[in-house]
């Protein structure tokens, strides 16, 4: 028996949806990626704990996936278990007049709508970011002058040993596209956010403004994983790439967006991960040679 079959069988016993050899291209915004040995939707803390503990006991690799909006999965896929947080992990609830609890598996879109309906401001910057709340906290997602660190009060998680835990704001180590969860191996399960009361009409106006800006500047009509590169100190990745004449440059089915050079798009719909990785290397090399800037990937390559 393949080791990941142990997790597949356990998932069935736990009444979790499980799929063998699931194409990860179906679960990433790039629409790219080979098969995962096992793909599991986990719906509760107890089930997640059981699966994590069994992965540890059976020496099976695993990773958590949200909307797959900031990752590039290799064409060879993933040898292990891919876990999607569902069920109770998508719960959103008002704790008090300015506090929201949100499960890590909920989308940022759902959270932003919930906050709007409660007349709570602070998340407008996140409207239109195509990720889950857990992923947004993991990488301290941000846009238009706002970041998750501005609104997160504390985070609940599950350790690599399958035990529940909690991290307070002061210990989250938020930085540019970074948090303590990028290296502590714990799985974010929920987030408590502190917001501010405001007029829903004013909140909606700001959300519409940010979404309009996003739509006008970003290639939202093509599969992509958002901004590929981190912003280098003293410059902007997209501007450097455009300066080097790389806007519209292609490798296979992947292209540097003609609308925003900081994005690489799956132009043909059939681009491979190798197409994207080759294009990233070409961009990094030319930008370094011509400007001296070393572009670091914001995109996570699996």
Catalytic residues: 177, 227, 298
Nearest Cα to Cα of residue 124 among 21, 224, 205, 13: 205
Distance CA 104, CA 132 (A): 7
Angstrom distance (rounded) from CA 104 to CA 82:
16
Q: CA angle at residue 257 from 254 to 263, to 5 degrees?
A: 85
Kind plus residue range of the DSSP H or E element containing 131: none
Q: Which of 177, 204, 172, 175 is nearest to 191 (CA)?
A: 172
**3-state class (DSSP) for residue 116:** helix
Q: Which residues contact 144 (CB under 8 A, 6 or more apart)?
A: 125, 210, 213
Backbone angles phi, psi at 284, to 5 degrees: -60, -40
DSSP state of 149: G
Residue for token pair 């007349």: 119
Is 54 in a helix, a strand, or coil? Answer: helix
The two beta strands, 146-147 and 142-143, are antiparallel
Looking at the chain, the number of H-run helices and the number of E-run strands are: 7, 19
Place of tokens 């003293």: 234
From CA 148, how far away is CA 138, in angstroms rounded?
9
3-state secondary structure of 227: strand
């Amino acid at each position: 028996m393949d080791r990941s079959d142990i997790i597949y069988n356990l998932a069935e016993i736990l009444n979790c949806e499980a799929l063998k050899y699931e194409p990860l291209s179906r679960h990433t915004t790039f629409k790219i990626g080979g098969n995962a040995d096992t793909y599991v939707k986990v719906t509760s803390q107890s089930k997640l704990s059981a699966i994590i503990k069994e992965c540890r006991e059976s020496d099976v690799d695993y990773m958590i996936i949200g909307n797959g909006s900031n990752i590039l999965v290799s064409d060879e896929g993933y040898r292990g278990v891919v876990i999607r947080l569902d069920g109770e992990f998508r719960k959103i609830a008002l704790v008090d007049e300015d506090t929201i609890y949100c499960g890590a598996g909920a989308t940022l879109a759902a959270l932003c709508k919930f906050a709007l309906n409660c007349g709570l401001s602070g998340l407008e910057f996140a409207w239109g970011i195509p990720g889950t709340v857990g992923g947004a906290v993991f990488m301290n997602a941000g846009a238009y002058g706002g970041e998750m660190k501005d609104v997160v009060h504390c985070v609940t998680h599950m350790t690599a040993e399958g035990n529940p835990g909690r991290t307070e704001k002061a210990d989250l180590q938020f930085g540019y596209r970074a948090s303590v969860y990028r290296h502590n191996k714990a799985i974010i399960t929920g987030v408590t956010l502190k917001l501010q009361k405001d007029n829903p009409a004013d909140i909606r106006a700001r959300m519409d403004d940010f979404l309009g800006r996003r739509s006008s500047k970003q290639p939202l009509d093509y599969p992509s994983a958002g901004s590929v590169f981190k912003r280098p100190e003293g410059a902007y990745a997209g501007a450097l790439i455009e300066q080097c004449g790389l806007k519209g440059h292609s490798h296979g089915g992947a292209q540097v967006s003609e609308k925003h050079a900081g994005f690489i798009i799956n132009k043909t719909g059939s681009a491979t991960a190798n197409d994207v990785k080759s294009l990233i290397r070409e961009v990094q090399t030319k930008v370094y040679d011509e400007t001296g800037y070393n572009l670091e990937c914001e995109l996570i390559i699996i």
